Amino acid sequence: DVVMTQSPLSLPVTLGQPASISCRSSQSLVHSDGNTYLHWFHQRPGQSPRRLIYKVSNRDSGVPDRFSGSGSGTDFTLKISRVEAEDVGIYYCMQGTHWPRTFGQGTKVEIK
């Protein structure tokens, strides 16, 4: 199975400051169709996860442009340019290239 490793696992941030989460995969996530199926999800406390970013860098509808995704191969990053209070919660990366689908352990973002 592809192991997804996130860091850090806990991220205290100051409102208005940037934040960055790393996600590394144990195998390349480049699919035979040429796409890289690496996605990011956000789970607010008590809520279901919501996809924020798909295929590395594409924001889902309604996702603020302060969120951005980048990376390639096995190394990916989610960045928040200026953290807002609503951004707290747990962020997960997930690979959709190989079976079984696998998630990172999650990164808990909280306000300092």
Partner 1 sequence: EVQLLESGGGLVQPGGSLRLSCTASGFPFSTSGMNWVRQAPGKGLEWVSVIGETYTSYADSVKGRFTFSRDNSKNTIHLEMNSLRAEDTALYYCVKGWQFDAWGRGTMVTVSS
> How many degrees, rounded to 5, is the angle at CA 80 between CA 70 and CA 112?
140
31 binds partner 1 (CB under 8 A): no
Using the minimum distance from each CB to partner 1, give the nearer residue, 48 or 86.
48
Q: Which of residues 48-87 bind partner 1 (CB under 8 A)?
A: 48-51, 54-55, 60
Stretch that binds partner 1, among 17-25, 70-78, 81-89, 91-99 (CB under 8 A): 91-99
Strands 19-25 and 38-43: unpaired
Where along the sequence are the contacts to partner 1 (CB under 8 A)? 37, 39, 41, 48-51, 54-55, 60, 90, 92, 94, 96, 99-106
